[in-house]
């Protein structure tokens, strides 16, 4: 049987993406009635973040902290050294990060945004400009709170849900050079890249582009820092799609990416297969000294950073599991299994399918609604009403307001993210989810908009409230 090359599915292997594990412990799920869901959604102000998890059947809100740990991770918890200072668990985590990612200096943090806070405070001065490959909500907020303006320098294709560009996470080198020329290299504390790019649809960067960004940074004397939250998934795509990379292992690609950067932050709650944790890892000893000094102010002592010793043990084990080829085949295979069902039925989704989620193009699905009526927020609500499936808005609500003008930021992408936790749900759960999307797709013409009735100041998507118009 020959296969047509597609950016969404591996063509190099013919076996299925069946999970390389079996299930030892189960957690019951509750199916609710439509009336119960209507009441829960109204109570949550049509914000899926404000639902109680007991009211959710299949929870595809996020892949963050929602992963299932392995027996090795659960066993590692028992080895946690809970010393306040000098915990052995910290040194095991530090050694793992040094070996897998190659950074010499490690600062543990309670989760990704703790690391974003510290690196932003250390590197940014008020009035600085930080270019990056599309914003991420918490990353940009910490850069702004430190006094910088974020400038998007991702390739144009990233803003087009239909573009089949295989590396929609790539930086547009001309855009990046223009930002540096316009503001001067001395106003750019670092270039901020992410692998993969969450808000673009879980889209990867190519190794060639990271090499080119590094060269451009070197020419201009600007450091390069990377959000490696989903680096293993990015490496999987590079191995699948980038010419000349099929012979490399995911571990080798991960290491090559890190070797091109001056430092990184990670939310361990994603790739690293744990429920809590993060870290900052850098090469410059001066940056490290300041970072671990701020760690004791905001996170905890620099050998635990807001984590229990057992958490650090689980992260160290999870990092090693995260780069296993069979794990990533199954993880991304499951995401694509769901996505392909929607693609086959003509539902507009972000193309090519990404690493951690299927992103519905809400602007395409609810094309009759203006962006001011929050089509993606509404669509996420409708999916919950349909089948108790919880998803997340990634559009105008997530983009927030411009701090200078107070106006809504209007992203071109108005998306609903159907996010798949790692090693948690089955193929049948994906089928139920696809059916729910198709049911809403069939009745899309009758779906109305929303008004925002409450808007918090920071990261409004977490706590805003809405009502049907």
SS (H, E, C) 271-311: CCCCCCCEEEEECCHHHHHHHHHHHHHHCCCCCCCCCCHHH
Q: Among 87, 96, 120, 138, which residue sits at the site for ligand PLI (rule: CB under 6 A)?
A: 138
Q: Is the CB of 271 or the CB of 369 nearer to ligand PLI?
A: 271
Q: Among 133, 139, 192, 317, which residue sits at the site for ligand PLI (rule: CB under 6 A)?
A: 139
- From 91-99, 110-118, 154-162, 375-383, span contacting ligand PLI (CB under 6 A): 110-118
Q: Among 278, 318, 355, 375, which residue sits at the site for ligand PLI (rule: CB under 6 A)?
A: 278
In three-state secondary structure terms, 108 is strand
Residue 169 in contact with ligand PLI, rule: CB under 6 A: no
| Catalytic residue chosen out of the listed positions 48, 66, 137, 419 | 137
Q: Is the CB of 89 or the CB of 109 nearer to ligand PLI?
A: 109
Residue 168 in contact with ligand PLI, rule: CB under 6 A: no
Helix (H), strand (E) at residue 392? strand 392-394
* Contacts with 59 (C-beta within 8 Å, 6 or more apart), sequence order: 53, 66, 390, 421
Closest separation in Å from C-beta 198 to ligand PLI: 4
Q: Is the CB of 48 or the CB of 64 nearer to ligand PLI?
A: 64
- 91 given a catalytic annotation: no
Structure tokens at 130: 């930080």
R_g over Cα of the chain = 21
Which residues are bridge partners to 157 per DSSP? Answer: none
Q: Give the residue among 335, 375, 382, 329 at the shortest CA–CA distance from 359.
A: 335
Q: Is the CB of 359 or the CB of 449 nearer to ligand PLI?
A: 359
Q: Among 45, 112, 189, 201, which residue sits at the site for ligand PLI (rule: CB under 6 A)?
A: 112
- 175 given a catalytic annotation: no
- 465 given a catalytic annotation: no
- 168 given a catalytic annotation: no
| Catalytic residue chosen out of the listed positions 90, 103, 461, 466 | 461
Residue 198 in contact with ligand PLI, rule: CB under 6 A: yes
| Rounded distance between C-alpha atoms, residue 192 and residue 140, angstroms | 10
Residue 299 in contact with ligand PLI, rule: CB under 6 A: no
Closest separation in Å from C-beta 29 to ligand PLI: 21
- 433 given a catalytic annotation: no
Distances (CA, A) of 468 to 401, 448, 452: 22, 7, 9
Residue 62 in contact with ligand PLI, rule: CB under 6 A: yes
Distance of CA 107 to the CA centre of its chain: 21
Helix (H), strand (E) at residue 321? helix 309-322
Residue 279 in contact with ligand PLI, rule: CB under 6 A: no
Residue 305 in contact with ligand PLI, rule: CB under 6 A: no
Q: Is the CB of 64 or the CB of 206 nearer to ligand PLI?
A: 64
| Rounded distance between C-alpha atoms, residue 158 and residue 134, angstroms | 8
Closest separation in Å from C-beta 44 to ligand PLI: 17
Which position has the token pair 């108005």? 414
Which residues are bridge partners to 360 per DSSP? Answer: 349, 416
**Is 255 within 8 Å of 101 (Cβ atoms)?**
yes
Q: Give the residue among 285, 277, 230 at the shortest CA–CA distance from 103.
A: 285
Closest separation in Å from C-beta 111 to ligand PLI: 3
Catalytic residues: 84, 136-137, 227, 270, 394, 461
Using CB under 6 A as the criterion, which residues of the chain lie in contact with ligand PLI when the complex forms?
Answer: 62, 64, 111-113, 136, 138-139, 194, 198, 227, 229, 267, 269, 278
């Amino acid at each position: 049987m020959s296969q047509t090359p597609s950016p969404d599915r591996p063509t190099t292997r013919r076996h299925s993406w069946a999970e390389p594990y079996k299930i030892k412990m189960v957690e019951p799920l509750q199916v609710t009635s439509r009336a119960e869901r209507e009441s829960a959604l109204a109570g949550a102000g049509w914000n899926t973040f404000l639902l109680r998890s007991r009211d959710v059947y299949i929870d595809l809100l996020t892949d963050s902290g929602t992963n299932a740990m392995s027996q090795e991770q659960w066993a590692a918890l028992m080895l946690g050294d809970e010393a306040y200072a000098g915990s052995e668990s910290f040194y095991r985590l530090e050694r793992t990060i040094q070996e897998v990612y190659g950074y010499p200096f490690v600062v543990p943090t309670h989760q990704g945004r703790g690391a974003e806070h510290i690196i932003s405070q250390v590197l940014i001065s008020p009035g600085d400009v930080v270019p990056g490959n599309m914003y991420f909500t918490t990353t940009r907020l910490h850069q702004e709170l430190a006094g910088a303006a974020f400038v998007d320098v991702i390739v144009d294709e990233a803003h087009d849900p239909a573009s089949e560009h295989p590396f929609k996470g790539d930086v547009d080198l001309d855009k990046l050079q223009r930002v540096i020329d316009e503001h001067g290299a001395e106003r750019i504390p670092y270039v901020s890249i992410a692998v993969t790019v969450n808000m673009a649809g879980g889209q990867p960067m190519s190794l060639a582009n990271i090499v080119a960004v590094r060269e451009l940074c070197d020419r201009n004397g600007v450091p390069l820092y990377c959000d490696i939250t989903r680096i293993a998934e990015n490496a999987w795509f590079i191995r699948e799609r980038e010419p000349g990379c099929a012979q490399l292992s995911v571990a080798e690609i991960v290491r090559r990416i890190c070797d091109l950067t001056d430092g990184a932050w990670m939310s361990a709650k994603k790739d690293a297969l744990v429920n809590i944790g993060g870290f900052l890892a850098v090469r410059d000893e001066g940056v490290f000294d300041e970072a671990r000094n701020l760690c004791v102010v905001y996170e905890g002592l620099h050998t635990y950073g807001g984590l229990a010793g057992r958490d650090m043990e689980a992260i160290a084990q999870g990092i090693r599991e995260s780069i296993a080829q069979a794990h990533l085949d199954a993880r991304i295979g499951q995401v694509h299994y769901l996505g392909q069902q929607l693609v086959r039925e003509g539902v507009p989704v972000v193309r090519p399918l990404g690493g951690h989620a299927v992103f519905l193009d809400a602007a395409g699905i609810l094309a009759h609604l203006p962006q001011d009526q929050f089509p993606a927020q509404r669509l996420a609500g409708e999916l919950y009403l349909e089948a108790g499936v919880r998803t997340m808005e990634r559009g105008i609500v997530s983009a927030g307001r411009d701090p200078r003008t107070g106006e809504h930021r209007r992203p071109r992408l108005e998306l609903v993210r159907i996010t798949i936790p790692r090693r948690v749900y089955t193929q049948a759960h994906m089928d139920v989810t696809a059916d729910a999307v198709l049911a809403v797709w069939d009745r899309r013409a009758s779906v109305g908009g929303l008004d925002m009735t409450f808007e918090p100041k920071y990261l409004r998507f977490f706590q805003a409230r809405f009502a049907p118009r």
